[in-house]
Structure 1
Amino acid sequence: MMYRSTRGQAPLVDAGAALRAGVAPDGGLYMPQELPRFTAGDFSDTPDLPGLAARLLAPFFADSAIETALPSICADAFDFPCPRIPLAHTDNNASPGPDILELFHGPTGAFKDFGARFLFRAFAALGQTTDRLVTVLVATSGDTGGAVGCAAEGVAGTRAVILFPAGRISPFQEHQLCCWEPPVEAVRVSGDFDACQALVKAAFADPDLARRHNLTSANSISIGRFLPQMTYWARAALDVTAETGTPPGLIIPTGNLGNAFAAVLARACGVPIGPIVLATNANATLSDWHASGQYEGRPSIATLANAMDVGTPSNFERLADLPPGQIETVIRVNDDAIKARLRATFDQSAYIACPHTATALETFHTLDTDQRQARRWIIGATAHPSKFADTVEPVIGQTVALPPALEAVLEREARCREMGVALPELAGVLAR
């Protein structure tokens, strides 16, 4: 499998080179040169998540240095569950509730654990050494940084530098970003997520800086992040199709579009997935694009669903690289509706959702009855609600207990650096 740039001005590379580089030399994002085609029968003997991951991802890493290590990478990266929980009630009980696909049972309580663990195990398989450290430079709107820090800790031949926006993430998220041991470094940036993301892109676009520090990415712009994320969508879709005879619809809370693009790509490869609906917060870039056909990035807006506070989603470039019509619709949900849905879901089903999951649940309830009844719908639950206790607990009137893995995070000491939004400042951080 070879990879091409979305901008068409860079040489073809194999999966190992694409993973090392993060971004193509022309500034584009890497895409598979051609997509494999699967049928449901191709996965009939892979009932567990690691086995399905190895089968699904094998063509994408064929003829690369990762190929032979792929089964062991998947076994290690996908060693926690992603249960599918049916919700019994809706507003009027006229149609069945959706299934909640809980993607937050990894070590940092977020769906990013799947991709981050895969990515760093893939780096180890590429044979990085302390003589030539790979610097993983990542911007985070909340959960990516924690997952990257956890996955990077103790991995030989890598260091991780995590940029996060000051005052724009939850207190727990900030502690989780800043608690990992070297070679992980957290940097608080005096700007929003888009400013952090722009710094990362500027660093990659500076050939001398990128070469000097052997930069690569752990954002969903990396093929090592979004490709493994296809796995849990495929598992859920295969299971629901086997149960009902109809491919399920997916409702995916999204910010930078990596998780949603993983589902789009899985469907393009033949996985039985029905309509894909994007749930966004008050940041209107994607909903305006879907309504008008015109894409226009803009500054992000702070919301309760802060991990989705993205005004210029990087993976739109990948979505635009595919034929139109990949997304059924995009629904924008404001903070008041998020809080109302958190409360209603708790009252009706005793289910506690995080703000991002509540955004997707509210989106489900905006679909008309015929749409809801036509198929099973799966909601992507992207983070454990305890990470957003300051938002969730006042709404539901109940304490949200931390799972053991997240309790352990609070026992760690937090540390971080501070910087502005200028590239020379980032160059100084990388040089230390």
Structure 2
Amino acid sequence: MSEHLIEQVWTALGGDPAELPRLTTSGPAHTLAGRFPVTAFGTATIGAALLAATLDDGRAGRGRPVGIDTRQVAVALRSQRYLRREGVSPGNPFDPLSAFHPTADGWLRLHANYPWHAAAARRVLHLSADAGLEEVRAAIAGWPKVALESALHEAGGVAAATRTEEEWTATEAGRTARALPLVDRRLLGEAAPRPARRARVLDLTRVIAGPVATRFLAAHGADVLRIDPPHRPELPAQAWDTLPGKRSAIAELPVEDLLAGADVVVTGYRPGALDRFGLAPEELAARHPGLVVVTLSAWGHTGPWARRRGFDSLVQSACGIGETERTSPDGPPGTLPAQVLDHATGYLGAAGALLALAAQRRGGGTHHVRLALAGTAAFLQTLPRTEPAAEEVDPAPYLEELGPFTIASPPGTVDGRPLHWPSPAEYGGARPAWLP
């Protein structure tokens, strides 16, 4: 299935089929255990990103040879679990409240890793600001799952009721998500081709999908500058895992001077969330013709849930993956063996950015690449199911020492050689300006 799946993914990105023979895959068929073909899908998305990163413009199929081993795929898609700082693990990345909770009529997945989301949940549940896990669980148990899902969303919280795949498809949000393409690329306007140079990537993303996309671009030579607002600090472990190779600055939006010098801008917020800063894709196209705009969201750019907050774990809960991965009828829903919706969407976003950048330099235009975790989930759910078993992977060959960190290396090989991060993670230490 792997070769056919790689072809499917590459075609969805708009890639030239003549490039496919440059990619070699190796390793066991299953290195991540679950009922969905996570190993094959992760391999396909990383492979596509490697192909896009090594194009030889003007000579289809003549780019550099690339490879990916499924054992490294298993490490790359779970990079945070292998992170160490001075030999010490940062611990479980999930807050205790970020879990499946039983409700009056089923289950609900809550996300509370960021303190402002946890505060919103406690407000909706009429709990004190310091209420613990047991109090939160007891309060959730009295709510119908969909009613609580809606109440939390309206209050600025983040949660998703657990549905079966059939229940999800029966909702308008589910039908919209199922209709999303894996990758959507469109032209926002006319623009002259820009000259080739080291790509400048403005990174306005958080959590995993967007940062994985820009981390991959940094590993392949882009100058990636990530901007975080001063009033919304990033979780330390998340920053350590996703900032290697980038420069990180703290600054308020808008960042017009940075946009003027950028080749690519990547945003990872729900549609419309950044519009007040002049960052709507159409506005960017009008002010900065020739820019490549990549937008990643949880639920997509259309439909009743387009403006809802969301994360990988919540999409799994809502779209039926949690129920499909359930291991016990009496226990909580299950999860994928990796946050593959995030990681796969990230690699697809990087591939889409690189292909759009190449197209812009050849023929001009202002290109917009759209992806959504719900669209990635919908694609994954169309693939043949697998047995929940996998071969054990030794992560050591795919880890590297980088400053005080032990971290998963960039996935894949180019010209037969493994990849490495060009610099360690340093949160907020850079000046918000482009390198000369």
Query: Which TM-score applies when normalising by structure 2?
Result: 0.27
Q: TM-score, normalised by structure 1?
A: 0.27
